[in-house]
Amino acid sequence: MNAARKIVVVGGGPAGVAAALAARQQDAAAEVVLLNDEQHEPYEKPPLSKAVLAGTVMPADAPIAGPKGVAGAGVALRSGTRVATIDRDARAVVTGADERIGYDALVLATGSVNRVLPLFPVGRKGIYYLRTEAEARALKAHLHQSRSLLVIGGGLIGLEVAASAAELGVSTTVIEVAPRILARVCDEETSDLIAERHRARGVTIHIGAAATALSELADGRLAVETATGDTLTADLIVVGIGAAPDDGLAKAAELATQDGIIVDERGRTSDPSIFAAGDCTRFPGPHGPVRLENWRHAQEHGAIAGRNAAGGDVAYTLPPSFWSEQYDMYIQGVGWPVAAPSARVRSALAGAAVAKTRAPKCRASWIAAWPTPLPPASTRTVSPSRRRARVISMCQAVRNVSGNAAAWTKSTCGGIATRFASGTDRRSA
């Protein structure tokens, strides 16, 4: 009689949880252990920059695996467990407490870490980075006592934080070194539309502006000088300039890495018994190896790696996508970018929203949607039923323009809409 397979998953984010759950589904007899370095049931991180900062939910309100947690699916969770090294010869991981945990298959889902600007060191008073619930709690406490905020970086995280602060009545400024916001995320027209909505909410945006100096004023505020000669002051600063793969564990184990852990289309690393998934990986894309940093990729890639670690044989072929919520805008993107895209409006969504597809054969498509006009923030309310209907409309439009109905089923759209309607699970990346 063969012994049960033991699968160890390192990382408590969406990729790690999806890998653990998928491994159990693939092999119900397997022993699946999830090692999480945080002292919590794995939680959704997208709300950290939105509803958590607003004070309407807590991270514990949105467990990734649902109310029963990963234990409800038969996965053994080890919280507060940091993996220090991998002993590939012995097929074991060694924790920070010097405990050895053996495995038949290992899945690395270590995620990513914040890119840090030396000018804005981690831990300096009034400077925040956002990746964990502890960082979100600290930022929320300071934000709710502040009158002004400076955001360094005009990407999704920076803009979500800016939107949350503006809705709290905090005077907010964003500086972005690129010629426009969201330059790595969407086309120029869409980024201009989003910038316009931020400015309508009172957010000041400086583009083509690099921070060159930081000082503290006598009253405790922080002052930032830019290369354009401006001096911007704020009670606190949030830095959101992207993330780097957390591949240090893999490097130390001498797995193949290149700005991320190199994996094949099945999530397998250069060691046949070790798989990897999510933000920490570089996987085969249509034009060569690529990294992605978003929730849906992490979840789907993790599920593929988990299934294959448990004996499956499934390739990862889903197109990339992202979702962001800023004010009552729902911004969705699907597909791979191409060098010379075309563009046309495919359909107008309810509430004067915009849906458009870009590039031949829908190799890349973008959607931006919002109701028009917006009532004043102080009086605006959106019922769960209206929120759900809007999200279903957007999700169905994404399916129509993406050319991949399998990835955006009616069930998928309904599930996403239900979570958004509750206000506790707002997904983005």
CATH fold for the domain made of 6-113+244-309: FAD/NAD(P)-binding domain (3.50.50)
- Asked if the peptide bond before residue 373 counts as cis, ω within 30 degrees of 0, the response is yes
Reported as type and span, the H/E element at residue 309 is: helix 295-309
**Rounded to an integer, what distance in angstroms lies between the CA atom of residue 153 and that of residue 363?**
28
Q: What is the pLDDT of residues 271-322, one digit of tens each?
A: 999 999 999 999 999 889 999 998 889 999 999 999 999 999 999 998 888 8
The tally of CA atoms less than 13 A away on the side-chain side of residue 176 is 22
Ranges of H-type helices in 227-288: 248-252
Separation of alpha carbons 283 and 318, rounded Å: 12
Q: Would you place residue 415 in the very low, low, confident or very high pLDDT band (cuts 50, 70, 90)?
A: low
Q: Which two structure tokens, joined as six digits, stand for 427?
A: 């997904």
- Quickly count: other Cβ atoms within 10 Å of residue 354's Cβ: 19
User: CA nearest 404: which of 326, 304, 300?
Assistant: 300
Instruction: Give me the architecture of the 116-241 domain, per CATH.
Output: 3-Layer(bba) Sandwich (3.50)
- Contact assessment for residue 296 and residue 285, using Cβ atoms and an 8 Å cutoff: no
Separation of alpha carbons 323 and 340, rounded Å? 23
Q: Is the backbone of residue 191 left (phi > 0), alpha (psi -120 to 50) or beta?
A: alpha
Q: What token pair was written down for 281?
A: 């990986």
**Token digits of residue 139:** 């930022």
pLDDT at 385: 57
CB atoms within 10 A of CB 142: 15
Query: Which residues contact residue 112 at a Cβ distance below 8 angstroms, ignoring those fewer than 6 apart?
Result: 243, 244, 245, 246, 279, 280, 293
Domains 6-113+244-309 and 116-241 share a fold: yes
Identity of the residue numbered 331: I
pLDDT for res 230: 95
Q: pLDDT category, 59, cuts 50, 70, 90?
A: confident
Quick one: average pLDDT of 75-100?
98
**Are the C-beta atoms of 251 and 232 separated by less than 8 Å?**
no
What residue ranges do the domains of the chain occupy? 6-113+244-309, 116-241, 321-422
pLDDT at 398 over 80: no
pLDDT tens track for 205-215: 999 999 999 99
Taking residues 422-429, report their average pLDDT. Answer: 38
